[in-house]
Each structure stands twice: as C-alpha cells, then as structure tokens.
Chain A
Amino acid sequence: MKDNRFVALKKTPFYSRTSLISRTNKWYNWNGYTVPTEYSTTELEYTAARNGTSVMDLTPMCKYEIKGADAHHFVDYLVTRDLSEMEDNTVAYIIWCNEDGKVIDDGTIFKFSSTEFMLCCAVKILNWLSDSAEGFDVSIKDTTDTIAALSIQGPTSCSTLKNYGAQDLENIKPFEMKEFNIDGYKVLISRTGFTGDLGYELWTDPENAESMWDKLFEAGSLLKIRPFGMNALEMTRIEAGFIQTNTDFMAAEDALRPVRMRSPYEIGMGWLVHLNKKNYFVGKRALKNEKENNLTERCLVGLDIDGDKPAHGSVIYNEKKEDIGIVTAALWSPTLKKNIALASLRRPYGIKIKENIFAEIYHPEELEYKKLWQRCKVVKRQFYSPERRNKVPADLYE
C-alpha cells in the first residue's frame, strides 16, 4: 500500500528556478506544493514590490474552470456580488457564503465568455462548487495543476512586461485581462494582484514556465526585478488592507465553533453583497435577515497604533479595560512608517466608537517580553493605495 507519509510535496513548474535562487532555504506547503516563504531577505523582496518589480510563483493558487450554458448564471448564483453585468475578458473580486450568510472564502473570477469562467482562490473548494452546481448546466474542473501562474507586481512591472513582449499592456485597465502571444506560446495577463500596487498576473501552460521565468528576469534586469516570497506578500497585503481567509476570519467551512464564522458585513466586505441583485445567491436569505434586523456583531477595521512595535495577536481594549476584540494581522509598515494592524472588533467599537481604544502589545526582546499599552486610532483598512495603482495608461519606466 502506498503510504501517504512518504509522498513528497509537489513542485511547481518554476521549481528549477525558484530552488536555484533560494538562499535562506525557507519553504512552506501551499495546497500541497512547496514554495518559498523567503528567497534571501524578506525586506528586500518587499522593497522590490514597492519600488521595482516583484515576481511570485502563484501556481499553487486553486484554479477552477467553470464551463457550460449556465456558467454565467451559476457564477452569479454562487457569489454575493452582482455579476450579471460582468463583461467578457474582465476579472472581479468576489466572496461567497454558506446558507447562514457566513463567508467561506474570497477569490477572483475571470470571465472569458458567458459560458466560460475561471475561479481563483486560496482554499480548495471543488466540493462546494460541485454541490452548488446541482441543477445548473455547468461542468467544473480543477485546473490548478495545469496552469502555471506568476504574479508580477510593483511600479516597474508594466515596463518589465513590455520588455518581455506584452505590447500595449499599459492600456489595460485594472481588473481587465488580455491574451498575448509571446515566443510562440500563449500567456494570459490580467491586471490584478494582492499587493495594492500596480501589478499583473500571468497565466500560461506549465511547459512554458521556465522560459517565461528566464525571459522575465532578463526583461526586468534594469528595472529592479526580484523574486518574492510569501512573507513579503504578507507585508504588502496588510498595507493594502486585503484580508486573508483563516487569518483575518475563519472560513465558514473550517470553523469548528459556529460563533467564529463571520458574515461579509463583519469582515468589511459588505460592499460585495448585492441584496438587490436579480437572481438568488447562496446565503441571500440569511444576509437579508442580518441586514434588515441589524444582527451584525463584529467589524474588521484598520488600526493606526502608537509606537513602533507591531501588535501581533494583541487583544484590544476600551478605556474600561474591557476586551473588545483582537488583532488579526499587524506590521510596522516600512513605506508608511506607521505601526498598522487589522483588527476584528465587537460592534459598536470600530464603527460608532473609534476613540479610546488600546492595544496590549507583548513585544519579544531576546527571551523577554516588553509589555506595552498603546493607544489606537481606527482608520481606513486600505492603509496604502498609491495613485499609480489604478492609473491608465500605467506608468512606464525606461
């Protein structure tokens, strides 16, 4: 019998390249693939994303092909956002809920035509998709292993990709995509990303992966190109205020305690819920009930915290020292020079009461903790959003 303990993690099509340049040898398991958390220095990788071009291996991201006559209706039914007007060759950020209106995951949906979509997300959900598809004329296929993907982010990313061969890329608007023919193979480029900056994602057949990687690094050699690991991504996504499943909230399918499940309104995703959309969507009845009867209990907010010690896992208190929430992600932001955090708070804190909130920070200093009591300000969750992020045409550098 085959023993699962001795089955190695999968290697992405870029492994020959990523393993070659990994200096610190820090890897982790992402959906059964081994990928670097860090290549050399997290701070340098972060800097590439903010000042040059960063390249991240995105292959382990779950990808599902949704095809069939009812594909458009099905996708609209699956998610809370109104996608009925979604145009071909565009991408949309989405979340989906269970019947209680609790969020299962977030992701992006790519529309090729009304009969063909691609769904990208962090956690495997084929089960959920197939069960949801009951009654719809669609077929769903897990294409994770058959598509190689890279995330190219940063201010010089557009220039790098133009050097690489993507003509007129600067004219693509955010959340649009286009297919390019480069060196005889096809690459789909979408203007999407997880860093809150100008950036693109590349999707191609695994057999083109290595030559694509090589050509990209050649194209970006004068544009501060650098491979980018998971640790640096965590920094950029906190600055951008993006949420991460099972970090900032528990996925409804994973949470053991029902009270830990969160509705979209509780994680700052209310803007993605369109209760007025024409078709029914999964969770609509529960979400409508929550909205109409004001049942939302929590909120996810950005905090600007005094001092410079990141508030990892801190408990948040009001002035009476009552526990009102917890920090889900924290960072000393090198770009903003601010001590920022995402925190899940019990309403009305964070919504009506934004003052006199404190974080209790335990800062480790060589096997001793320094206990800090810092005042916090509730701020917009999008800490970092440069103008160039949405600029069309995108900035180009020589």
Chain B
Amino acid sequence: MSRSDYDVIIIGGGHNGLVCANILAKKNKKVLICEARDTCGGLINDEITNFIPPINTSISNTLGRISVKYQPKNTIALSESGEHIRLNGNQHIDHKSISAFSTKDADRYVEFHRKMSLFSKTLGSFMLSAPPRIMHRSFSDYFKLFKLGMNARLMGKKDFNEFARMIGLNIADELEDNFENPLLQGLIAHDAVIGSNLGPRSPGSLINLLYRMAIHQNSLFGEIYKVEGGCGEIVNSLTSLAEKNRVEIKTSSPVKKCIIENDTAIGVELHSGDKYFAKTIVSNADPRSTYFCLLGTENLDTDVKRRIKHHRAKGRVAKLILKLNQTPEFINCNKEDLQSRMVISPSIDYIEENFNPSKFDKVSYDPILEISNSSDNQTMNIQIQYAPFNVEGGWENIKENYTNSVIKLISKYSPNIESCIENKLLITPDNIEKDYLVSGGHWHHGEIQIDQLFMLRPIPGASQYRTHLKGLYMCGAGTHPGGGLSGISGKNAAYAVLEDF
C-alpha cells in the first residue's frame, strides 16, 4: 500500500460531506475535503434552497450546537380570488383556518394528519440509521427489520391495515377521498410531488409525502424554516466547526478520479494533477458521477453499469430569481403573508395537467410554484415544477418565454409584480447539473421512490454507504435516506466508515 496523507478524503463539501467530515474529525481522523466549487455547501444555497427542515437532532447531538437562528414559516396556498388557506402546523390553528372554507375538511384534516404523522414516524425510525443488509445474516440487520415490523405492527390493526393500503397509493386518490376543497387538495398534493418525477395521480406519490414529513418532524406544514441571514449560515457554521475540528478544506479543487490500486481506492487525483492519498475515500457526489467518473466505467461490472444507467435522477425543478425594486403586493395578503411560504397550486387537476407535458419533455406554461421572499422583500425566489431536464427545443430557446409565463402566472396573484422587477434569472435543471455538479440536476441525487429507497438506494449492492470499490464510500443525498437537507446521509456514512476503519 502506498503512503497515506490523510485518514479520509471527502470528495465534495456539500452539507452531507461537511457533516461526515466533522463526525470523522471528532473521532480523531485526519480529514481532507476537496470541493470543486469555490465555496462549500452544495445545494444549500440561497439560489437553490427556499425553506429547510430543522437539522436532525441526532446530528446536532453528535456535532454539538449548530449556531444558526431558525425562523419558522407558515404556508399559504394562494387563490386567485384571494381566499387563501394559511397553515402553520399547529393543529388548532390549521383546523380553524380550514374551517373557514369547510368544517368537514377541517375535521378530516386533523384525522388525515394524525394518520400520516403516525406513518411517517414509523418509516422515520427506519430512516435515521443505515438500512439493513438483507443477505448478510447479521444480527443487527435482522434486528432493524424486526424493529420496523414491530413499529408497524404496534400501530394497531386498524392503522396497520391503513398503512398497508396507503403505502403504494397515489396522493390524489387519498386527498379526493378526504377533502372537498380543491385548494387544500392542491396544496397537499404540491408537497407530495415537489422535487420528484411524479404527478399527483402517479402511484407512489404518497410515500413521497411521507418521506417529506419524516424529515419535517412528522408534520405536514410545520417545522418549515428559514435561516436568519440566509441558509448559507448553516454552511458557515458547519465549515467553522470543521475548522475547529481541524478538517482541511480545499475549495476550487475538482477531483478528476479516484486513484485505484489493487482494486482499492487509495487516493484522489484532481483536475490540476495534484494527488492526495488516504486510507478511505468518501464521495459526496451523486451516484452517477461517483460510479461513472470517480470510480470509472472501466472498473465496473456490466450489471452495475446497467443499474447506474437506470438510476432515475432527472431533475424537474427550476428556479426563478427576481430582483425587485419595491415590495410586491399580493391580493389579500399582509406583510406576514409575504414572508410565508406561498404556494401556487390551485388543484390536483391543475398539477396533473402541468405534469402531463413533462412526461414528453415539454414544459407547461402554467406550472406550480413555491414562492419565497427575502426578509427585505427585495428578492423573490420561485421554485418551479415541472421543468424537464431534457426539454424539447432546448432550454436556451424557451427560457425567455418560460420566464415570462411564470411572471404572468404570478401577476394573477400579485397584479403589480411586473412593475417591480429589476432583474430576473432562470435556473433550469441543466444549470443545476453544470453549476452544482449534480448529474441530472436532481435535488435528491435520485428519485425518492420505492425502488430507490432504503436498501435499494442508490442501487442494490451499494446501499450501506459503501460502493463496489473497496475503500470508496458515498455520503451524498443519493444514499439512504435521501435528500431534503437533513444531513443524515452524511452522518450514517461517517459511521459506516468508522465501522470499517
């Protein structure tokens, strides 16, 4: 074996990479982070991230307090007529605000929330730790499966049957069974499909919502935050923690490939030609980049190539950033509402109709939006779905039209918006791929669906944060449990590395 400059080299300083580095450094490992961009943080970035869930307690317990100020945010489903629905996760308040439209819906919402919360908690217990290996016959793996089974069973017969019925269901069916108000249906359906490649009527869209709830402390519209000073503060606090823990961070240092000797990863080679050696390499990159670029296609078995090629990771979310010269006015909205998470998703059918063209790589000019205003209301950050990765005609040619259609859509809710705009910037999934080095430009480094979850995430045979190459690990959102800015992947990966050290 050749020399080792470090114990661990982490490729990519996204939040998972930073969490992983900090945990390893706390266990007295000498860690180097090679970040391709000029700053760390990856997709935790004010350009990309609107709202975030709280950092997972298991992580803050391990790392110590992460000193950022979280500001809880309400959610408001905008209606053209001004009859908005405002929710904030508090069951009494939510009940009251839904009652204004339908008392039946309000009662049902409480029951729906209880049920979903219970299911997401059941899945959540499974989600925090590394997924079990099925074929390895180890006690701890069986115990994890047993625990999941027990948790599911302990829900009681009625809830368990309900869980079994709902797990593969589409969100539209469930919402239409429960609620009559289309705006409420549209709002919940929006959260179920956001960031994914599913429509509300696609099977599996319900599990997507459960997943989202699990990282938001099992709440539907609660536990949604902004960070004071921008979400870069989280990154700053993770990097300064890293400095304290003596993690070395090299920015603007894109890694070309892993150095492989005797079928073991022993180091990394940068694009600049510099080489660094370590006992263990951890990739924070997405699975496709990790396998095809870092590991190299010539070092993979054909079957593994097939799985990576079939790994679904095409982003469907675009961002529009508007710089404003005055505060926009929204119909029937006060100052506090402007600071809420504003969702334009009037009904299930509206989403589904918007989803349909995306299946054929076309855009819908009436997309669903999530709007976030900066604290001074001078920047509006709009998250747009569905914006296909390989759009017909190419993004360059339709960018202008698309941007204008989004603004036109917003003007239905905010009549003066057009006169406020000083500057606009559209970020499409292919921009995300290029600028943030995420193949497919997918938020979660891969779809969150039943075939790419738990021990199947990202692909069978590589699901315990280990890859097919000895010495190379993965800690990105492509691994279990997935994206959502929870940092759990990074934490679990760190323990997988320590286990093998």
A residues bordering B, Cβ < 8 Å? 73, 77, 98-99, 128, 131-132, 134-136, 279-280, 282-285, 288
Contact = CB atoms under 8 A, between A and B. Distances in A.
Interface stretch (B80-88, B203-211, B294-302): B294-302
Given A134-B309, A280-B263, A128 B298 contact: no
B302 A128 contact: yes
Contacts of B426: none
B306 interface: yes
A158 to B, nearest CB: 39
Interface in B296-319: 296-306, 309
Contacts of B275: none
A393 B292 CA distance: 49
Given A135-B305, A285-B468, 10 more contacts: A73-B298, A77-B298, A98-B301, A98-B303, A99-B303, A128-B302, A132-B305, A134-B292, A285-B301, A288-B263
B263 A284 contact: yes
A175 B302 CA distance: 28
A136 B297 contact: yes
A285 B296 CA distance: 15
A389 B499 CA distance: 57
A136 B299 CA distance: 11
Contacts of A99: 301-304
A136 B296 CA distance: 10
A139 to B, nearest CB: 16
Given A135-B292, A135-B296, A283 B309 contact: no
Contacts, number: 41
A98 B298 contact: no
A84 to B, nearest CB: 13
Size class of B's contact patch?
10 to 19
Contacts of A73: 298
Contacts of A280: 263, 298-300
Nearest to B292: A135
A282 B468 CA distance: 12
Contacts of B304: 99
B262 to A, nearest CB: 10
A44 B357 CA distance: 68
A131 B263 contact: no
A73 B299 CA distance: 12
B263 A279 contact: no
Interface of B: 263, 292, 296-306, 309, 468
Nearest to A76: B298
Contacts of B299: 280
B27 to A, nearest CB: 29
Contact of B302 (A282, A285, A288): A282
A131 B306 contact: yes
B302 A131 contact: yes
B91 to A, nearest CB: 51
B134 to A, nearest CB: 15
A134 B305 CA distance: 7
B263 A132 contact: no
A134 B297 contact: yes
B397 to A, nearest CB: 30
Given A134-B309, A280-B298, A285 B303 contact: no
A153 to B, nearest CB: 34
A134 B303 CA distance: 11
Contacts of A136: 297-298
Nearest to B301: A99
B301 A279 contact: no
23 contacts: A98-B301, A98-B302, A99-B302, A99-B303, A99-B304, A128-B302, A131-B305, A131-B309, A132-B305, A134-B292, A134-B309, A135-B298, A135-B300, A135-B305, A136-B297, A279-B298, A280-B263, A280-B298, A282-B301, A282-B302, A284-B263, A285-B301, A288-B263
Contacts of B298: 73, 77, 135-136, 279-280
B114 to A, nearest CB: 44
A132 B306 CA distance: 8
A60 B304 CA distance: 31
Contacts of B302: 98-99, 128, 131-132, 282
B301 to A, nearest CB: 4
A279 B298 CA distance: 8
Contacts of A132: 302, 305
A134 B304 CA distance: 11
Nearest to A283: B301
A77 B299 CA distance: 9
Contacts of A284: 263
Which 4 A-B pairs rank lowest in CB-CB distance, beginning with the nearest?
A135-B297, A99-B301, A99-B303, A132-B302
A134 B306 CA distance: 9
Nearest to A78: B302
Nearest to A77: B298
B298 to A, nearest CB: 6
B133 to A, nearest CB: 16
A279 B300 CA distance: 11
